[in-house]
Amino acid sequence: MRCRKCGTQNPPNFTFCIFCNEKLEQGEEETNGYLVCSECGGCYELQEGENPEDFYDRCECGGKLVFYWYKEEFINGI
């Protein structure tokens, strides 16, 4: 979830911002993260209990898989 004070994107379920220590608002979107291919743009939403390390670091197309906590990070190119 994004800190409303400094704008830092924080991992889910954190209570305080990792940058400015501001208390984060709860009730945001729950997510396990996303793996996105740097070549073809394919996206996979991790399911509960899955970990990015459970997957190969390459997509079927040969591109590198990159982990993001939130959709906005890869949609907006953050």
pLDDT tens for each residue of 4-57: 888 887 887 788 999 999 998 876 556 788 999 999 999 999 988 888 888 888
The predicted structure's pLDDT at residue 73: 78
What pTM does this model have? 0.63
**Half-sphere exposure of residue 76: CA atoms within 13 angstroms, side-chain side:** 6
- Work out the end-to-end distance of the chain between its first and last CA atoms, rounded to an integer number of angstroms: 14
Mean per-residue pLDDT, 49-68:
90
Q: Is 15 found in the same domain as 40?
A: no
The predicted structure's pLDDT at residue 16: 92
Higher pLDDT, 68 or 30: 68
Tell me how many domains the chain contains.
2
The predicted structure's pLDDT at residue 2: 78
| Distance between CA atoms of residues 37 and 26, nearest Å | 30
Q: Is 45 found in the same domain as 20?
A: no
Q: Is 68 found in the same domain as 48?
A: yes
Q: Is 70 found in the same domain as 38?
A: yes
Could you list the residue range(s) of the whole structural domain that residue 57 is in?
A: 34-75
